[in-house]
Amino acid sequence: MQYTASVRRTASALVVVATAAALMTGCTPSGEAGAAGEPSQSVQSPTPGTAAGGSGSGGTGQAKPSTPVSPAASGGKAKPCTIDDVKVTEARQAAVRPPGTGTGAAIVAVTNVSKSACTLQGFPTVAGAGNGSPGKNVPLATTHSGSAATVSLAPAARAWTKLTFVNVQGEADGYCESGATPASFPTLVVGVPGAGAHQTALDDGVLALCDNKATVTAYSATKPS
C-alpha cells in the first residue's frame, strides 16, 4: 500500500511538471509573445520624394535648385526715358532772369507720364516754334551751364531745366543790344535727350528774345529759380 501511494504521488508530480512546462511553452511560441515586454523600435518614414530604401526619383537624393529670378523681377535699373514716357507739363518765366522787357528766362518741367520709372540725362535743345510747320521752327544756339547727371524719374516725377535768353530791352516792341531785331514766338519746342522734342507754350505770355540763342542747364530733379 505504501509503495502504490508513493508511485501515485510521483506520477502526479510528473503530470504537474509536464502541465506547467506545456503552459510556459504555449505562452511564448518561437519567443514572439515574450517580445511584448521588450523595448519597441521606432521606424522612420522615408523623406518625401525618396523611396523607403534611399534616394529620390532622380536617384541623387538632392533637392532641385530653385528657379533663377530675372533681373527685371529683382528690381533692375530703370530704362532710359522715351518720347512716350515724358511730357512737358510746365513752362513759365523764371523768377530770376536778366533785366529787360522780354522773357529773359524760362523754367521748363518734363514729367514721367508712364507707369514705370525711367532715366534721363543731358541738356535740352530749344527752338522757337514755326507757325503750323516744324520746318519753320527757329533753332536757338545753346550754351550749356553746369554739368549733367542722370535723373531717375518715378511715375509722375518731374525733371527741370532753366533756359536763359538774351533779353529784349526798352519799351513797346523793344530792341536788341546787338542791333538785331527782337524775335517773338507763341510756343517753344524743347528737346529731351533720347526722348524727342516737345512743343509747349509759356504759362504767362509769349517768348520774346534777342539773337536766337540761350544758355541752358541740364535736366535736374531740383527745380531752379
Q: For 72-130, write each residue's pLDDT tens digit.
A: 333 468 899 999 999 999 999 999 999 999 999 999 999 999 999 999 999 999 999 87
36 Cβ partners below 8 Å, 6+ apart? none
Contacts of 216 (CB under 8 A, 6+ apart): 123, 124, 126, 142, 143, 144, 145, 161, 162, 163, 164
d(C-alpha 117, C-alpha 127), whole Å: 28
What global pTM score does this model have? 0.65
Q: What is the mean pLDDT of residues 220-225?
A: 94
CA distance to 19, 92, 128, 158, 221, per residue, from 164 (Å): 124, 12, 14, 20, 18
What is the chain's mean pLDDT, rounded?
Answer: 76
pLDDT of residue 171: 84
Please state which CATH number belongs to domain 79-217.
2.60.40
Whether residue 147 has pLDDT greater than 80: yes
3-state secondary structure of 21: helix
- Mean pLDDT of all residues in 134-155: 93
Provide CB contacts within 8 A for 197, sequence distance 6+.
125, 127, 189, 190, 191
CB 127 within 8 A of CB 187: no
- Cell 515724358, residue located: 86
Cβ atoms 81, 153 nearer than 8 A:
yes
Relative to beta strand 141-145, strand 207-217 is parallel
What's the confidence (pLDDT) of residue 76? 61
> For residues 101 and 133, is the Cβ–Cβ distance under 8 A?
no
Please write the tens of the pLDDT for every residue from 159-196.
999 999 999 999 878 999 999 999 999 999 999 999 99
**How confident is the model over 16-44, as pLDDT tens digits?**
434 444 434 444 343 333 433 444 343 34
Strands of 138-139's sheet, edge to edge?
A: 138-139, 126-128, 187-191, 197-201
Domain ranges for the chain: 79-217
